[in-house]
Amino acid sequence: MFGIPGKQAVTITDRAAAQIAKLMVKDGHQGLRIGVKKGGCAGMEYTMDYVDEVNPLDEVVEQGGARVMIAPMAQMFLFGTEIDYEVSLLESGFKFKNPNVVDACGCGESIKFDENLTQSE
């Protein structure tokens, strides 16, 4: 929808692809849908849900056995994002490196996008 021909909407690191593929196989899901919703102290939050059926309006990115679907409303907010999976002593989880984010809250759960993006919703 908002893509550039020949360029994927998001990139997935090898670590993230391995984790997504493992989750898909474990529970028999078709993939992982990512999106954004209003909420949090900075204004928006990422969403992640398992999916059993691909929505024809989703942008689909496949890599290393992993399938990520981007919800239609989120495509313009996530274009250019790198999805990584990090493991540390205290926590592990998916991390989004998104060039469209202009601010984030201290806990890292909530983000703010450029006002030009949010006004076009």
First CA to last CA distance, the chain: 14
Task: Give the Cβ contact number of residue 37 at 10 Å.
Answer: 12
* CATH code of residue 47: 2.60.300.12
In a domain, residue 121? The reply is: no
Structurally, how many domains does the chain consist of?
Answer: 1
Q: What is the pLDDT of residue 5?
A: 53
Element containing residue 16 per DSSP (H, E): helix 14-27
In a domain, residue 4? The reply is: no
The parent domain of residue 31 ranges over 10-113
Helices and strands (H, E) in the chain, number of each type: 3, 9
In a domain, residue 3? The reply is: no
CA-based nearest residue to 117, from 59, 54, 75, 65: 75
In a domain, residue 119? The reply is: no
pLDDT tens digit sequence for 50-104: 999 889 999 999 999 999 999 888 888 888 899 999 998 888 999 888 888 877 7
In a domain, residue 60? The reply is: yes
Mean pLDDT on 17-40: 89
